[in-house]
Amino acid sequence: MASSSSYLSMKMYSSSYFSCGFQLGGAATSLRCHVGHPQNSIFLRNEFSTKALFTTKVNVNSSSSVVVRAAMSTDAPAKIIDGKYTAKVIREEIAAEISRMKDAIGIVPGLAVILVGDRKDSATYVRNKKKACESVGINSYEVNLPENATEEEVLKFISDFNDDPAVHGILVQLPLPSHMNEQNILNAVSIDKDVDGFHPLNIGRLAMRGREPLFVSCTPKGCIELLHRYNVEIKGKRAVVIGRSNIVGTPAALLLQREDATVSIVHSRTKNPDEITRQADIIIAAVGKPNMVRGSWIKPGAVIIDVGINPVEDVDSPRGYRLVGDVCFDEASKVASAITPVPGGVGPMTIAMLLSNTLTSAKRAHNFK
């Protein structure tokens, strides 16, 4: 399962943050859904078959029976929202679109990634992005600078990529060495090439009716794309987003509201988060706390998108850890009508949305419809 390494650090949620390593030891804890009831330990589904997507609308009314028909067989009532498969389908669509653009106007999208320093995990993520680009026909440009490079050197490369018409997206691999001002460097990326969608202007446009962001951050975009691809109705539904980060929770809430959901945001200062979450037809959990959302938090029939990818100690695993979401899958899958697994849910969607944003940028730059 080589590809799983590419979203081990999805705990940081962003394609740019792929390198912000996960760590075992202090941060990782051995956790079960039911603490003290080892017989209820999480059954992690590491492999999902990639069969046809659901074709029937997911009805998220608690009062109605669940009408999802999934192609997968599962012993849990909740249907699996298969991010790995969906991301594959999207990559194929992107590849076809790039091929059409190349044939029509001779242009191929380009993504530039700037890597500073020699962190092994960062190098891995950059390599994975490069591989993903290649697989769909996006040209990738990579700059590797030594740990002791200056901020000015990085800014010079960004400026060059900003001016380079062959580059349609620019990613600065995070984290940067501590002697650099991350904000300065990220702000230097042209908004036209900010395929991560983190620029406040993009967030502002996302929040405003009648405005369109140039790019939507990859992970929240991936969450909504999963809901769309699985025909989950959003309009008029109650949605709860757990977590209010700039790169997942906040944009996810804004996206849901744009689609006419009634949105509540639950965060660390929320009293009775379980009570509010239990009202939701759609839950997006992006809080980075292993198994925080329990079965009792979930309204029967709700649809769950679990963004968290948290490593927890597991002596039975050859690696010594396993990955769990923010939602206790074992409990939730007995109550929800549909749920993303971890891994294999939102994780693979992030990189697919990065490719999608890069394609969008290239199409826009060349006015290709």
Residues identified as active-site: 129, 173, 196
Which among 32, 86, 58 has a CA at the least distance from the CA of 304?
58
The least distance separating its own copies from the CB of residue 88, rounded to whole angstroms, comes to: 32
Q: Which of residues 233-272 bind its own copies (CB under 8 A)?
A: 235-236, 238, 244-246, 250, 254, 257, 260, 262-267, 269-271
**What span, in angstroms and rounded, lies between the C-alpha atoms of 33 and 318?**
21
Nearer residue to its own copies within complex by CB, 81 or 263 = 263
The least distance separating its own copies from the CB of residue 23, rounded to whole angstroms, comes to: 23
**What span, in angstroms and rounded, lies between the C-alpha atoms of 170 and 158?**
8
Q: Are strands 169-172 and 321-324 parallel, antiparallel or unpaired?
A: unpaired
Residue 23 makes contact with its own copies by CB under 8 A: no
The three-class DSSP label of residue 115 is strand
The least distance separating its own copies from the CB of residue 210, rounded to whole angstroms, comes to: 7
Q: What angle do CA 16, 306, 209 make, to 5 degrees?
A: 70
The least distance separating its own copies from the CB of residue 258, rounded to whole angstroms, comes to: 10
Nearer residue to its own copies within complex by CB, 254 or 349 = 254
Question: Where are the extended beta strands (E) located within the chain?
Answer: 79-80, 110-116, 139-145, 169-172, 238-242, 262-266, 282-285, 303-306, 310-313, 321-324, 338-339
Q: Which of residues 143-162 bind its own copies (CB under 8 A)?
A: none
Burial letters 258-282, b for 16+ CB under 10 A, else e? bbebebbbbeeebeebeebbbebbb
Q: Which of residues 266-325 bind its own copies (CB under 8 A)?
A: 266-267, 269-271, 276
Q: Which of residues 183-222 bind its own copies (CB under 8 A)?
A: 199-211
> Using an 8 Å Cβ cutoff, are 94 and 136 in contact?
yes
Nearer residue to its own copies within complex by CB, 36 or 210 = 210
Nearer residue to its own copies within complex by CB, 139 or 257 = 257
**Interacting span for its own copies (CB under 8 A) from 100-108, 231-239, 298-306, 332-340:** 231-239
Nearer residue to its own copies within complex by CB, 76 or 276 = 276
Nearer residue to its own copies within complex by CB, 58 or 247 = 247
* Alpha carbon distances (Å) from 325 to 10, 13, 147, 310: 10, 12, 33, 6
The least distance separating its own copies from the CB of residue 200, rounded to whole angstroms, comes to: 3
**What span, in angstroms and rounded, lies between the C-alpha atoms of 241 and 256?**
9
The least distance separating its own copies from the CB of residue 217, rounded to whole angstroms, comes to: 11
Residue recorded with tokens 């620019």: 170
> Using an 8 Å Cβ cutoff, are 333 and 76 in contact?
yes
Contacts to its own copies by CB under 8 A: 199-211, 235-236, 238, 244-246, 250, 254, 257, 260, 262-267, 269-271, 276
